Amino acid sequence: MLHDRHLAGASAAGDRPRTRRRAAQVPSPYSINGQAPYMDWRLIDQLRGFTKVPLLLKGILTAEDALLAVERGVDGIVVSNHGGRYLDYAPSSLEVLPEIVDVVKGRMPVLIDSGFRRGSDILKALALGAKAVCLGRVPRWGLGAYGAQGVQRVLEILQNELALAMAQAGRPTLDGLDRTAVRTHFS
């Protein structure tokens, strides 16, 4: 059980209370911790001044933001709703992918993440125009269960599922994947 002196920040020897310095933070009007809803596009310009490495921007969910990323000279984007953890009512990344690919017009790579669990999910994203699919949870499940070998096995399973889904869709190569390989009725 904590005593009052511990709660007040006093050391174990009973010295005077320690004070902690906190960095000045801009208060969030929505009381959202761990997120930065106040970010704006000027941050991209600032980051460009710090680094020469390729800059990928994650969290794009609208064609308008994708176009702004192109105009800002971002090297690539990741269409992502952050696994649905940011906003309950955000669209799925797969739902908005076609309009984003259309507005980018090949000027930068469009990657995607958020909820890809099977090879058939990957096929859908590639057919709708993604250049790559980022995987998060599924490889971590393999890592947690069996270490590095688990990750390897999970990736092998996904690759096999993708090859099978492509064969079933009559698309033997990645170059043969296009929007005609899938039906979409997002609404």
Task: Look at residue 90 in the predicted model and tell me its pLDDT.
Answer: 81
CB-count exposure of residue 70 (10 Å: 0-12, 13-18, 19+): middle
* pLDDT tens for each residue of 110-136: 999 988 999 999 999 999 999 999 998
| Mean pLDDT rounded to a whole number for the chain | 83
Q: Is the pLDDT of residue 3 over 60?
A: no
- What pLDDT, on the 0 to 100 scale, is given for residue 114? 87
80 contact partners, CB below 8 Å, separation of at least 6 = 58, 59, 60, 61, 93, 112, 113, 114, 134
| Per-residue tokens: 162 | 């993708």
DSSP string, 98-142: HHHHHHHTTSS-EEE-SS--SHHHHHHHHHTT-SEE---HHHHHH
**CB contact set of 55 (below 8 Å; sequence gap of 6+):** 44, 47, 48, 74, 75, 76
Cβ–Cβ under 8 Å, residues 56 and 78 = yes
Domain boundaries, the chain: 28-181
Q: In what order do the strands lie in the sheet with 56-60?
A: 56-60, 76-79, 110-112, 132-133
Please tell me the distance from the alpha carbon of residue 184 to that of residue 182, in angstroms, as a whole number. Answer: 6
pLDDT score recorded for residue 24: 55
CATH 3.20.20.140 fits 28-181, yes or no: no
pLDDT in tens, 18-71: 555 555 555 544 444 455 556 778 888 888 888 889 999 999 999 999 999 999
Quick one: pLDDT at residue 91?
Answer: 87
Residue 5 binned pLDDT confidence (cut-offs 50, 70, 90):
very low
Residues known to be catalytic: 82
pLDDT of 28 reads 42
Mean pLDDT of 152-161: 97
